Amino acid sequence: MMAARKVVHIITRLDQGGSARNTMLTVLGHDRTQFEPLVVTGQADMWNAQGGLAATMENLRLLEKDSIRYHLVPSLVRQISPKADLSALWKLIVLLRQERPYIVHTHTSKAGVLGRLAAWITGVPKIVHTPHGHVFYGHFGSISSRIFAQIERALAWITDELIALTSSEKAEHLERAIGCADRFAVVPSGIDIDRFKQARTSGKVMPEWFDCPADATVIGSVGWLTDIKGHRFLVDAVAHLKQEHPHLHLVIVGSGDQHEELLRKARKAGISQAVHLVGRREDVERALAGMDCFVLPSLNEGMGRALVEAMAAGLPVIASRVGGVPALIEDEKNGLLVPAGDSLALAAALRQILSDPLRARTLGQNAMQSIGTGFGVPAMVRAIESIYREAAVSYA
């Protein structure tokens, strides 16, 4: 029997962000008779977004509990820093020379750049990269975005397989001449489908921590309170509708550096009593059970794990037409799509949902039906391991 092949997963932050959750589920789900995982991540620090230090330490404990080795590289940081980046690159080179993995699988932009370079320099047989979205728009200015695209275009030449979360994400890379179609797979990020499909079996049940009136109509969102998630446009949209829908309330699950700014915006719009920022929750299914509609107002999104969870729960959903989202939502069929950063368009879509309960229910049912077993965790891990095996055959 062939010995398990060593796979090194490299990611900048192992927190509670979507890319980190995807990576953790993959690593923990590996068939250990065939693949020996090793995780390399940046040093846990005191950042607040995406669960911060506490989330990172919890993930490391989960790896230890499952006897999965990991290495911390303190200089592997998200922001651009020539000194730190060179240090991280060298440490990755040294580590890969010591470990001699068969596959290096990098995750997200910074780890994808440094990790793939280190793997190429050290002669790792197979290099796989999952962007978990992209930074081609929404994150930076046009010049920086073009530079990032050029870097990704060059790195694609040393990458054996690219993995997109959705067909839309793959298309956006190929449109920019990043990678080639026959070496670009699509593997949705896995969720616990049964957990979320059962979230609303008892109908709408508002958790007490929503702190909403019993007769509230709840517009909900789940995501880190960061600029790229676009929650400020959702607050504006609710403000536009509050007068004609006096029972309307907004509940956002998540934490981050935009918390105070969103509260300030709500106060300025005169709807502070109707905006509830409830912080990060592990029991997201309980939050979805208390909502009447789910909104993902992101300016950029790889797939939108929270969106898939809301769809699996059978909620009518509204989302920005960005990144991988259009691959999930067929406008007017299983949800509504709106332009990113347009609070008036978002308000108009919400008005459609609020004014037609039957249509809202149909959209929710269609959304649930569109989330099949392909979005489950086992399917994701099997698909990724299949890519590894194909790489092994081509290498042999």
Q: What's the CATH code of the domain at 360? A: 3.40.50.2000
pLDDT in tens, 110-127: 899 999 999 999 999 999
| 134 lies in the same domain as 211 | no
Closest CA to 306 of 208, 229, 226: 229
| 383 lies in the same domain as 364 | no
Number of separate domains in the chain:
2
Q: How far apart are CA 160 and CA 130, in angstroms?
A: 11
- The pLDDT, as a whole number, for residue 29 is 95
Q: Is 215 exposed, middle or buried (0-12, 13-18, 19+ CB in 10 A)?
A: exposed
Mean pLDDT of the chain: 90
Q: Is 178 exposed, middle or buried (0-12, 13-18, 19+ CB in 10 A)?
A: buried
| 236 lies in the same domain as 117 | no
Count of C-beta atoms within a 10 Å radius of residue 23: 28
pLDDT above 90 (res 361): yes
| 184 lies in the same domain as 207 | no
Q: What is the mean pLDDT of residues 336-356?
A: 96
Q: How far apart are CA 216 and CA 74, in angstroms?
A: 46
Query: Which amino acid, one-letter code, is at 373?
Result: T
pLDDT in tens, 9-41: 999 988 878 889 899 999 999 999 999 999 999
| pTM of the full structure | 0.85
pLDDT above 60 (res 46): no
Confidence category of residue 396, pLDDT binned at 50, 70, 90: very low
User: What is the extent of the structural domain holding 271?
Assistant: 193-372
Q: What is the mean pLDDT of residues 76-93?
A: 91
| 126 lies in the same domain as 246 | no
- The pLDDT, as a whole number, for residue 45 is 57
